[in-house]
Amino acid sequence: MTILELRRKVQEPRRAYDTFYSRHVMRRFSIYFTFLFSKTNLSPTTVTFLSLIPGLIAPVRISQGHILEGLIWVHGWYLLDHVDGELARLKSGGSVTGLFFDTIANAIVMPLVFWSLGLTLARIEGQPLLSGVGLAAAYGFLMMLLIPCCETDALMESFRRTGVVLKKIEPGISLPAKSSLVKRFFSRMHLYTTFPVFLPLATTAALAAKLGASLFWLEAVLISYAICVTLVWPLVLAKTIRSRKTDKKFSEWVA
């Protein structure tokens, strides 16, 4: 199988869901690692485990004051985070356990990165408040991950208790409806809380600092992320509860 054929098989199904950074940066390189791993007996779950190596090196190096190097290690983790999914699609979709482990890896790596970044900036700049900013960013990221996970858990428990038969859900892409200015602003804030938006901005700011610029821009990226995610996750939680979104999903999925 050629690289082009491999791209069509393992990347095209994700194209509609990928962020700009994932599609145009990470997947340009991840396919070559997927190609190499496909020649081995490594499972997607093993690749997820391997991704934790750079993922855990990253916060250690950041906490030691090597911010740019640490963020480069994060890129390595994020690259392998694409590879395990591509390898899973190549091998007939992978496993539920693999998906579970991949989600857990996100919950392990990113909060540590945010927290270590806040602690290091607080130490370098002599501003203790920045450690709290890093903690808020880490907690907010976890909550953004936890809300849909809890929603899925509630659905699965309801299916188990009632013993219902699920409908076959056909994949599809719905066109976005027109929204108000407030909703558009909220969606922009929500977009910024995604890791693929934070990572390139933080890396660019860290590179600028390495070349002699002030750490101000890196602090601004972290602070703005912490503010956005702290505002967004309670709103997402409130909307999920108020709109009874999970109940609607349950009704739609039951045969």
Average pLDDT, the chain: 88
Tell me what the mean pLDDT of segment 85-101 comes to: 85
- Burial group, residue 202, by CB count within 10 angstroms (0-12, 13-18, 19+): buried
**pLDDT over 50 at 142, yes or no:** yes
- Tell me, yes or no, whether 173 lies in a domain: no
Q: Examine residue 10 and state whether it is found in any structural domain, yes or no.
A: yes
Report the distance separating Cα 48 and Cα 25, nearest Å.
Answer: 19
Q: Does residue 102 lie in a domain region? A: yes
| Lowest pLDDT segment from 175-179, 228-232, 246-250 | 175-179
Q: Is the pLDDT of residue 22 over 70?
A: yes
Position 175 scores a pLDDT of 46
Q: What percent of the chain has pLDDT over 70?
A: 92
User: For the ranges 38-42, 85-89, 164-168, 205-209, which has the lowest average pLDDT?
Assistant: 164-168
Q: Looking at residue 173, what is its pLDDT?
A: 47
- Per DSSP, the three-state class of 62 is helix
Asked whether residue 87 is domain-assigned, the answer is yes
Kindly tell me if the per-residue pLDDT of 117 is higher than 70.
yes
Which tens digits make up the pLDDT trace of 202-225?
A: 999 999 999 999 999 999 999 999
CATH of the domain at 245: 1.20.120.1760
Instruction: Check whether 8 has a pLDDT greater than 70.
Output: yes
Q: Mean of the pLDDT values across residues 189-195?
A: 78
Under the banding of pLDDT at 50, 70 and 90, the label for residue 249 is confident
CA angle 220, 110, 173 (to 5 degrees): 95
Range of the domain at 102: 3-166+178-253
How many structural domains are present in the chain?
1
Q: Say how far apart CA 136 and CA 13 lie, in whole Å.
A: 34
Residue 172 within any structural domain of the chain = no
Q: Averaged over 71-81, what is the pLDDT?
A: 96
Q: What is the pLDDT of residue 166?
A: 67
Q: What is the mean pLDDT of residues 43-47?
A: 92
Q: Which residue has the higher pLDDT, 181 or 207?
A: 207
Instruction: Note whether residue 16 is domain-resident.
Output: yes
> Which residues are CB-neighbours of 218 under 8 A, at least 6 positions away?
67, 117, 121, 202, 205, 206, 209
